[in-house]
Structure 1
Amino acid sequence: MPPLKYFRALLLLPLALLAGCDMVLLNASGDIARQQGQLIIVSTVLMLLIIVPVIGLTIFFAWKYRQSNKEATYKPDWDHSTELELAIWGAPLLIIIALGAITWISTHTLDPYRPLRRIEPGRPVPANVKPLTVEVVALDWKWLFIYPEQGIATVNELAAPVDRPILFKITASSVMNSFFIPALAGQIYAMPGMETKLNAVINKPGEFEGFSANFSGAGFSGMRFKFHGVSEPDFEAWVRTVRTSNAGELSRAGYQVLERPSEREPVRHFSSVAPDLYHAILNRCVDRNKMCMDQMMAIDADGGLGKVGAYNVAPRAWQPDAAIAPRTYVTAMCSVNDPAGLSLPLSTASIREE
């Protein structure tokens, strides 16, 4: 094979390697992910405006001024050129300014906490459309999705209507994770005791891959789920199917069983959900014997409990290994005559021993 054909084959090799790849990041089905893909392309092109000429000129100079080329100009005393200095410093400076402007604009435009202003280019969000709220919990090693308005929950399956804004409220049960649906939007972290948010929209129907993008232990590789973009009638039909299933309610006790580490969990549906479950997960008080974090912070904001707070703890073996030395946690506070789990004024509260 002639050298030129070898060179052409070498240039085509990257395309051949990418032939079987799904370029979902650069051809996304959601408006947010599509804008992020365009940002990658624009940034790459701007950087190539410097990289390609530099590489080309490096090869050109090495060839032109090689030792065997006796016709090349030889100027051993040359040390400065104003034109070259302007080109060498001016062009990268312009690229950096452009990248900085794009970064500043896109950081604000694509802020995951910012409510959507458009469904896709040229289509603003209608004033009467309410976002679909989905509460996301990263478990070990599976995903729990709670639909508070529909009163249902699913494990490792997510569905949403096409062209309707989605508000994800995201937290985790134990360790840090990352919620990522490449076709929908960029990844965002899920952290225990904290809530992150993601606003997004899917513009094309289909089945899309979702997974965790942050290593979280032995079952990390199996933390995958399917995201279904469907029409509004199909979404309502899917909700009815989940509601009429015989899966039962996801109660606090049921969640504590579900929370136990398991790998490659199959899709599961729950026809109803305890109304305060996500709040309890977020505030680390699914067990009613624990005080919720927001209650603790409210007490701290009022000056704390003083000496009595030092006794308001109880030992509990750290799961899953009961042989490990027990840790203590803040217990719930209630009066003698009131049911456990109710938040009461501190003046009437008493400490309950575990």
Structure 2
Amino acid sequence: MISKIARRGIPLLSLASLAGCNTVVFNAGGDIAAQQGQLIIVSVLLMLLIVVPVIVATLYFAWRYRQGNTTAPYSPDWDHSTRLELLIWGAPLLIIIALGLITWISTHLLEPSRPLTRLSEGRPIPASTKPIIVQVVALDWKWLFIYPEQGIATVNELVTPIDVPVRFKITASTVMNSFYIPTLAGQIYAMPGMETTMNAVMNKTGTFRGFSANYSGAGFSHMRFDYKATSAADFDAWVAKTKAGGGALNRTNYVELAKPSEKHPVEFYGAIDPELYSKILNMCVVEGTPCMNKTMAADAQRAKGDMAMKELPKEEIARRVAAQAAAEVCTTPTKTEKK
């Protein structure tokens, strides 16, 4: 009797435990995450159109043609049915086409760098609305958020107003990470020396969890931060409070901040070096380090000059090479001059 109760109770306990799960993606507060959740549901339902009938048919055939059922028809010479072949191959093909079409459309509509066209369903973005810029830097093992327009920065705390588009510009200091706030939008990679862009909007206030979804070393498990969605008035008050708190983030203390640390506390900076993010992105925060963008521009200019040289007549190329060699001889000191 006890064993029967236990067997019946296990499924109920499983359902009860699932009821406590926080399905953030299916109950998202941001419009992009909400659309992604709907996409998952639609995809699962389309696939169930095949999965459920196959399971039902498997159980039916196992029962119908069991050994003890002598009334079931027996056709040992049967080998083909055009109608059955069309059903077996046609139905999955139609579902694959539908899934492919939905995926193609949603991939373009929800592409992270694409500017937003609405705040939520049925609410287009007013023409005068300007998105908030947040520069995100994945450090070891913490998150740095720079607000260039507000002139402030935070560590392990992100605050944005609701119903206002936010444009995230994302990079990393050393290794690749993945920036992810499940209730806001999908995850996007943060890579050193590169910048990825994500546009998103939050529609309800609250405090939510953000984290790195890509393993990046020993402190990865604690690479989390609080995301606070507030009203516009509360956001302005928070910015003013942060500015009044003092402290400046510049190239010198950024180098100290970028050193690996675990469970890093929340920090606020009331002022920032306006060129800091550009230096981080181009990996030249340390004084004397050449910036990647300048190095690449010089390389491009050099390559352009080489291509132009190749298009010149052979006689002109020979003349320029000889002139350059003569110039080098004239400017190179002799052994007597060196002495």
In structure 2, what is the Cα distance between the partners aligned to 1:15 and 1:131? 42
Query: Alignment partner of 1:186: what SS?
Result: coil
Confirm or deny that 1:187 pairs with 2:180: no
* Residues 120 and 203 in structure 1, CA contact (< 8 A), matched pair in contact too: yes
Confirm or deny that 1:89 pairs with 2:89: yes
Aligned to 2:52: 52
Question: TM-score when scaled to structure 1?
Answer: 0.83
Aligned to 2:294: 295
Shift of 1:254: 0.7
Shift of 1:15: 2.6
Aligned to 1:274: 273
Shift of 1:71: 1.5
Query: Alignment partner of 1:302: what SS?
Result: helix
In structure 1, what is the Cα distance between the partners aligned to 2:110 and 2:66? 50
* Residues 180 and 188 in structure 1, CA contact (< 8 A), matched pair in contact too: yes
Aligned to 1:200: 200
Confirm or deny that 1:228 pairs with 2:228: yes
2:44 alignment partner AA:
T
In structure 1, what is the Cα distance between the partners aligned to 2:163 and 2:6? 48
- For residues 263-305 of structure 1, what are the alpha-carbon distances to aligned partners after superposition, in whole Å with 9 as ceiling and x for unaligned? 0001000010000000000000001201100000110011169
| Superposed CA RMSD | 2.0
Compared with structure 1, are the counterparts of its residues 109 and 7 closer, same or farther at alpha carbon in structure 2 (3 Å cutoff)?
Answer: farther
1:233 alignment partner AA:
A
Shift of 1:7: 8.9
Structure showing greater Rg: 2
In structure 2, what is the Cα distance between the partners aligned to 1:69 and 1:268? 74
Query: Alignment partner of 2:187: what SS?
Result: strand
In structure 2, what is the Cα distance between the partners aligned to 1:264 and 1:211? 12
Compared with structure 1, are the counterparts of its residues 304 and 85 closer, same or farther at alpha carbon in structure 2 (3 Å cutoff)?
Answer: closer
Question: TM-score when scaled to structure 2?
Answer: 0.86
Aligned to 1:332: none
Shift of 1:63: 1.4
| Within-5 A mapping of 1:102-121 | 102-121=102-121
Shift of 1:13: 5.4
Aligned to 1:256: 255
Gaps of 5+ in 1: 307-354
Shift of 1:11: 5.8
Gaps of 5+ in 2: 306-339
Aligned to 1:149: 149
Query: Alignment partner of 1:26: what SS?
Result: helix
In structure 2, what is the Cα distance between the partners aligned to 1:38 and 1:201? 17
Shift of 1:85: 1.0
- Structure with the greater relative contact order (CA < 8 A, sep ≥ 6): 1 or 2? 2
Instruction: Name segments (4+ residues, structure 1) moved above 6 Å.
Output: 3-8
1:16 alignment partner AA:
A
